[in-house]
Chains A and B, each alone.
Chain A
Amino acid sequence: MSPLGRAAGVVGPPIALFAVVVLLWELLCVALELPPYLVPSPIAVARAGIEHADTIAWSTLLTAAGALAGLGASLVLGSLVALAFANSRWIARAFYPYAIFLQTVPVVAIAPLIVIWFGTGFASVALVALIVSLFPVISAATTGLTRVDPQLLDLFTFYGASRWQIMLKLRLPGSIPHVVSGARIASGLAVIGAIVGEFFAGYGADEYGLGYLIIVTSGQLRTDYLFAAILASTLLGLATFGAVSLIGAAVLRRWRSREIER
């Protein structure tokens, strides 16, 4: 099959399903005469989307910036924490339970606290995205740094490699595939984190991201607009995940490694 044909085979079915669902949705809205503030018809959503395209696009960009800042910070911070964990069993034992705390604490519960401490605005949104996406990076990078092929460790030990040499030439490069898969999981979470962050820490009246837009439009029962914002959030999440996956795949190719199944 030609590459184009194969691409059509991959993309075709979900697009067809999407078309059918949208059509059914439109028909149901008309047939059941659903009130638009409950379930707006696809046409109404599209109309709202076009009408507010500028605002939605700007909000999406702002949310994307918050999510990417949070994701970038969590990649840097998560890798540093993992390095500390991998180098000291004591540090790992002492701090790991609190790293799990990051994973289990509901972000909606601490977001208000972050607003109290850091105020509203970009930094707080990025901070929430960071908190939500940090744990997968820590966990993946720590696994990558500590789970080394014992024969390779023997090989390095045999030739008298120092801790530093083992870290630089074996553990660090060996952890790359783990970090890549951790970053993929973190990318989706960072977008969610940014949107949740904006629920609480959204910006002022003239600058707001998707989270703030969702809160405002739902409060005003402008459900068609709300749907358009939700759609934009979903697309942003997909785009972020896709971009990180593509970068990750390129890194893995360079590293001659395969994706770590998690």
Chain B
Amino acid sequence: MLGSRRVRPLVLARDLHLRYPSGVVALAGVDLEVTRGELVALVGPSGCGKSTLLRAIAGLVPFTGGTLEIAGKSPLDARRERQGDAFVFQDPSLLPWRRVADNVGLPLELLGRPPAERAPAVAQALAQVGLADAARAYPDELSGGMKMRASLARALVTRPELLLLDEPFGALDELGRRRLNDTLVALWERDRWTGLMITHSLLEAVTLATRVIVMGESPGRIVASLAIDLPRPRPLDGPEGPAILAHVAALERHLGSAEAPR
């Protein structure tokens, strides 16, 4: 039975249901497997439950049916020992009264690490995202892109195994977003954490991810999973350009079928 000895997925959802107390059904029968080292993009019409799925994995909202495991543990247990994963929010969500370094060190502070242990981790995380010079700045002194970099550094400071990203660079301009995506992919290629990232741009999804998952709406479920097996980097005007566009077109078709019947 050698073939059945598969690597246990890092994120495993089976028939996952989530119904809010208000009665709104956000997720209905989501099956999801994310293997270690994958960089998965999650796309779907707005309101299809992408964010809810991410928040359920983060243990921020309780699911109401099915199973959900992070490294074999329940999301809440996984959350209790929050070394393993990190969450990057839509907005930078920095505390305006703290310097950048103190913002980046916040997760370690909340986890009760002593200052002597925090300082080198913070310095390293800041260097990773190219913000070493901004450590002593306040958030209001940073550009939108730099704030998002600080937010990314804060997520990386615990050296997470799983990085959950909720449409993190959506508020940035095109160039800023591309730069941050490059940084993200470079960090992923070096450290190979597992990433699950919501995006509304199909091109971005295909350019970044090892796999793209398409969610459908009303109620939220997964309608397609498309592996993107292309060499990096993936510029549109490079040799992989046509393949990238073909993937985008395929995703568009899936998205079309994902829309709720009207």
Chain A residues packing against B (C-beta within 8 Å)? 149, 151-152, 154-161, 165, 169-170, 173-174, 176, 254-257
Q: How far is the CB of B110 from chain A (nearest CB, A)?
A: 4
**A161, A165, A256: which has the most chain B beta carbons within 10 Å?**
A256
Complex Cα distance, B87 from A160, in Å, reads 13
User: What would 16 more interface pairs be, CB under 8 Å, given A159-B111, A170-B95, A256-B96?
Assistant: A149-B93, A151-B90, A151-B91, A154-B55, A155-B87, A156-B110, A157-B60, A158-B60, A158-B82, A159-B107, A169-B109, A173-B95, A176-B97, A254-B97, A256-B138, A256-B139
Instruction: Say yes or no for B80: interface residue by CB 8 A criterion.
Output: yes
- Grouping DSSP codes into helix (H, G, I), strand (E, B) and loop, the A interface class, with mixed when no group exceeds half, is helix
Instruction: Say yes or no for B140: interface residue by CB 8 A criterion.
Output: yes
**Can you name the residue of chain A whose Cβ is closest to the Cβ of B154?**
A155
B79→A158 contact, CB < 8 A: yes
Interface residues on chain B, size class: 20 to 34
Residue numbers in B under 8 Å from A158 (CB-CB):
58-60, 79, 82, 87
Number of residue pairs across A and B with beta carbons under 8 Å? 55
Residue numbers in B under 8 Å from A157 (CB-CB):
60
Instruction: Say yes or no for B188: interface residue by CB 8 A criterion.
Output: no
Complex Cα distance, B19 from A124, in Å, reads 57
B97→A255 contact, CB < 8 A: yes
B139→A152 contact, CB < 8 A: no
Residue numbers in B under 8 Å from A254 (CB-CB):
97
Residue numbers in B under 8 Å from A149 (CB-CB):
93
Residue numbers in A under 8 Å from B97 (CB-CB):
173, 176, 254-257
Instruction: Say yes or no for B89: interface residue by CB 8 A criterion.
Output: yes
Chain B residues packing against A (C-beta within 8 Å)? 55, 58-60, 79-80, 82, 87, 89-91, 93, 95-97, 106-107, 109-111, 138-140
Residue numbers in B under 8 Å from A151 (CB-CB):
89-91, 93
Q: How far is the CB of A259 from chain B (nearest CB, A)?
A: 13
Complex Cα distance, B86 from A237, in Å, reads 52
Residue numbers in A under 8 Å from B59 (CB-CB):
158
Residue numbers in A under 8 Å from B96 (CB-CB):
255-257
Residue in A154, A160, A170 whose CB lies within 8 Å of B82: A160
A160→B138 contact, CB < 8 A: no
A165→B139 contact, CB < 8 A: no
A160→B111 contact, CB < 8 A: yes
A to B CB contacts below 8 Å, 25 in the list: A151-B89, A151-B90, A151-B91, A152-B93, A154-B58, A154-B87, A155-B87, A155-B89, A155-B93, A157-B60, A158-B60, A158-B79, A159-B111, A160-B79, A160-B80, A165-B110, A169-B110, A170-B95, A254-B97, A255-B96, A256-B138, A256-B139, A256-B140, A257-B96, A257-B97
**Can you name the residue of chain A whose Cβ is closest to the Cβ of B140?**
A256
**Can you name the residue of chain B whose Cβ is closest to the Cβ of A255?**
B97
**Can you name the residue of chain B whose Cβ is closest to the Cβ of A155?**
B93
**Can you name the residue of chain A whose Cβ is closest to the Cβ of B87?**
A158
Residue numbers in A under 8 Å from B87 (CB-CB):
154-155, 158
**Can you name the residue of chain A whose Cβ is closest to the Cβ of B164?**
A158
Residue numbers in A under 8 Å from B107 (CB-CB):
159
Residue numbers in B under 8 Å from A160 (CB-CB):
79-80, 82, 110-111
Complex Cα distance, B99 from A255, in Å, reads 11
Complex Cα distance, B79 from A254, in Å, reads 34
Complex Cα distance, B94 from A173, in Å, reads 13
**Can you name the residue of chain B whose Cβ is closest to the Cβ of A159?**
B110
Residue numbers in B under 8 Å from A169 (CB-CB):
95, 106, 109-110
**Can you name the residue of chain A whose Cβ is closest to the Cβ of B86?**
A158
- 3 A-B pairs closest in CB distance: A159-B110, A151-B93, A256-B96
Complex Cα distance, B138 from A173, in Å, reads 15
Residue in B60, B106, B139 whose CB lies within 8 Å of A154: B60
Q: How far is the CB of A104 from chain B (nearest CB, A)?
A: 35
**A155, A165, A169, A255: which has the most chain B beta carbons within 10 Å?**
A155
B89→A159 contact, CB < 8 A: no
Residue numbers in B under 8 Å from A256 (CB-CB):
96-97, 138-140
A159→B140 contact, CB < 8 A: no
Residue in A152, A154, A159, A165 whose CB lies within 8 Å of B95: A152
Complex Cα distance, B171 from A170, in Å, reads 24
Complex Cα distance, B95 from A38, in Å, reads 58
Complex Cα distance, B95 from A156, in Å, reads 11
Complex Cα distance, B98 from A256, in Å, reads 9
Q: How far is the CB of B90 from chain A (nearest CB, A)?
A: 7
Residue numbers in B under 8 Å from A161 (CB-CB):
110
Complex Cα distance, B107 from A159, in Å, reads 6
Q: How far is the CB of A1 from chain B (nearest CB, A)?
A: 26
Residue numbers in A under 8 Å from B58 (CB-CB):
154, 158
**Can you name the residue of chain B whose Cβ is closest to the Cβ of A158?**
B87
Q: How far is the CB of B167 from chain A (nearest CB, A)?
A: 12
Q: A160-B111, A256-B96 are in contact. Are A154 and B79 (CB under 8 A)?
A: no
